[in-house]
A and B are shown apart, each in its own frame.
Chain A
Amino acid sequence: MSNPTTPFGWQMPTNTDLVTDLPADFEVFGQAVATSLADLNGGTTGQTLTKATNTDMDFTWATPAAGGGMTLLTTHSLSGSTSTISGISGSYKSLFGIISGGTTTATVGTNWKINPNGSTTITSVATTEAGASYDYTSTWYLNISNIKPTEGNNAWSFTIDNYASTTSHKPLKMSGQFKYYDNTLGSTNAGGGIRTTSAITSLDFVTLSGSFNGGTVLLYGVN
């Protein structure tokens, strides 16, 4: 070992030092070590050590930035022909929703859709459903062909990014699966956007026949 040490340069006693000098030598050594490690002191539970500057051994304790995560905003029970979630907080980056178990009183197959901010004209969605492609420039349909009103195993999820922006349009995506009126299975994959610079503060879930008599929307805020 070199003396002073590499890399810290802590001075240790030398071979020629008198034994009586050792306490003083160790004071020098110990103080050098303590000074080098001084920044490790302090901090609080949960903090992490980060570099304060590019200088060696220059650290500081810092509280980690809050990470991403999902917050359940509501568990909404579908009801009526139009079932609205309003008062959506603008405190998140994205909205993520899961629609499941929806049934209606309709006696025929029907379409469901989502109207952001109650509007029937601001959504463009290109959909692939059961192998066919559709592109609607005003309406966000959950399904294109009529679905079975009593089928409770349908499910969709959707994401609206940048939904709280007051300057930009909002991209959206959706996927789902359901049963058609003739009992065949359908699935959908859709993407598009909401053409408004207003923040999205409400979502209407609409059945175009009958009324919802079952089903839930879990709506999350995502950071």
Chain B
Amino acid sequence: MTKPTIQIHNIETGEIIEREMNTQEFAEYKKSVELADDMHAEAAEKAAQRQLILDKLGLTADEAKLLLS
């Protein structure tokens, strides 16, 4: 599998390098992607819980916002 690329722009020297990520950089990158996936899953879970509460209360999201504003 081709690894994503990394561009490094050293503004002190003006040098710009663009290359494939090394193993360590790619591992970090994959971890970041996984963390973002977890973040989305958590947000989706929270949204579902929020909707469940709204349904119990018989309120729309806009009505709840109005109530809390």
Identify which of A14-22, A75-83, A191-199 touches chain B: A75-83
B49 beta carbon closer than 8 Å to chain A: no
**Which of these, B5, B11, B21, B65, contacts A87 with CB under 8 Å?**
B11
A86 beta carbon closer than 8 Å to chain B: yes
Q: In the complex, what residues of B have CB within 8 A of residue A113's CB?
A: 32
Q: In the complex, what residues of A have CB within 8 A of residue B11's CB?
A: 73-74, 76, 85-89, 219
Q: Give the bracket for the number of chain A residues in contact with chain B.
A: 20 to 34
Mask for A60-94, Cβ within 8 A of B = 1, else 0?
00000000000001101011111111111100000
Chain B: minimal CB distance from A214 (Å):
13
Cα-based distance from A144 to B47 in the complex (angstroms): 14
Cα-based distance from A208 to B4 in the complex (angstroms): 10
Counted as pairs of residues, one from A and one from B, with CB atoms less than 8 Å apart, the total is 78
Q: In the complex, what residues of B have CB within 8 A of residue A206's CB?
A: 29, 32
Cα-based distance from A146 to B25 in the complex (angstroms): 23
Q: Flag if A81 contacts B39 (CB, 8 Å).
A: no
Mask for B20-46, Cβ within 8 A of A = 1, else 0?
010001001101110110011001000
A31 beta carbon closer than 8 Å to chain B: no
Q: Flag if B29 contacts A89 (CB, 8 Å).
A: no
Q: Flag if A139 contacts B9 (CB, 8 Å).
A: no
A211 beta carbon closer than 8 Å to chain B: yes
Q: Flag if B35 contacts A79 (CB, 8 Å).
A: no
B6 beta carbon closer than 8 Å to chain A: yes
Q: Flag if A86 contacts B9 (CB, 8 Å).
A: yes
Q: Flag if B28 contacts A120 (CB, 8 Å).
A: yes
Cα-based distance from A120 to B28 in the complex (angstroms): 8
Tell me the nearest residue of chain B to A205, going by C-beta.
Answer: B7
Mask for A173-202, Cβ within 8 A of B = 1, else 0?
000000000000000000000000000000
Q: Flag if B6 contacts A89 (CB, 8 Å).
A: no
Partner-A contacts on B (CB < 8 A): 4-13, 18, 21, 25, 28-29, 31-33, 35-36, 39-40, 43, 65
Partner-B contacts on A (CB < 8 A): 73-74, 76, 78-89, 111, 113, 120, 131-132, 134, 136, 138-139, 141, 144-146, 206, 208-209, 211, 219
Q: Give me 13 other A-B pairs in contact (C-beta within 8 A), A82-B21, A89-B11 excluded.
A: A76-B11, A80-B7, A82-B5, A83-B6, A84-B9, A86-B8, A87-B13, A111-B36, A134-B43, A139-B35, A144-B43, A145-B43, A206-B29
